[in-house]
């Protein structure tokens, strides 16, 4: 996600307005590494602005996604999470408990092409799906066995 200052410029350049709601949501996302859902974000900002409506939150999140400043992803169970971290990293997603972990594995550190066959790339994401240690234990799994 770009900085608050840059986002301010983006909104102004589009003829939009830098409202307190946008600022609040941007600040809540800034530096976040928890992959929150929309609901979790709402709970986080509600105390700071109780009148904030879900519709506004969704609208601000959607524009960030469309600008390439926020990534939306499915944790494997249909629950939608957001990630403002557009730096190159990968996620481990457990197919049983649906928790998410970041991994800054060497495999993920790689150049992202600026353009692929006329398609302009804004950001890049990577996921590893599988079973986490807890779920493997709970399932009585002891070692890697496909």
Which one of DNA, its own copies, none interacts with residue 27, CB within 5 to 8 A by kind? Answer: none
Torsion 5-10-15-17 (CA) sign: negative
Residues 6+ apart with CB under 8 A from 17: 11
- 66 scored as a contact of its own copies (CB under 8 A): yes
With vertex at residue 137, the alpha carbon angle to CA 136 and CA 142, rounded to the nearest 5 degrees, is 80
Q: 37 with 82: CB under 8 angstroms?
A: yes
Alpha-carbon gap, residue 124 to 49, rounded angstroms: 33
Question: Which residue of 45, 56, 124, 131 would you call a contact of DNA, by CB under 7 A?
Answer: 56
Q: How far is the CB of 7 from its own copies (least distance, A)?
A: 14
- 86 scored as a contact of DNA (CB under 7 A): no
Q: 40 with 56: CB under 8 angstroms?
A: no
- 60 scored as a contact of DNA (CB under 7 A): yes
Which stretch, 46-54, 99-107, 109-117, 119-127, contacts DNA (CB under 7 A)? Answer: 46-54
Residue number with CB closer to its own copies (35 or 71): 71
Q: 91 with 104: CB under 8 angstroms?
A: no
Alpha-carbon gap, residue 99 to 118, rounded angstroms: 35
- 3 scored as a contact of DNA (CB under 7 A): no
Query: What does the binding site for its own copies look like in residue numbers (CB under 8 A)?
Result: 65-68, 71-74, 76-78, 80, 92, 94-96, 101, 103, 105, 107, 110, 112-133, 136, 141, 144
Question: Residues interacting with DNA, by CB under 7 A?
Answer: 11-12, 14-22, 37-39, 49, 51-56, 58-60, 62, 77-78, 80
């Amino acid at each position: 996600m770009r900085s608050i200052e840059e986002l301010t410029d983006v909104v102004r350049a589009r003829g939009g307005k830098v409202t307190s709601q946008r600022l609040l949501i941007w600040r809540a996302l800034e530096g976040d590494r928890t992959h929150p859902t929309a609901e979790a974000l709402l709970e986080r900002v509600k105390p700071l602005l109780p009148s904030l409506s879900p519709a506004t939150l969704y609208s601000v999140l959607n524009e960030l996604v469309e600008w390439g400043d926020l990534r939306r992803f499915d944790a494997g169970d249909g629950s939608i999470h957001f990630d403002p971290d557009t730096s190159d990293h990968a996620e481990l997603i457990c197919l049983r408990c649906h928790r998410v972990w970041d991994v800054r594995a060497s495999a993920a550190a790689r150049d992202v092409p600026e353009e692929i066959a006329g398609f302009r790339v804004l950001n890049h994401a990577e996921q590893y799906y599988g079973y986490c240690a807890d779920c493997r234990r709970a399932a009585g799994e002891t070692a890697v066995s496909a």
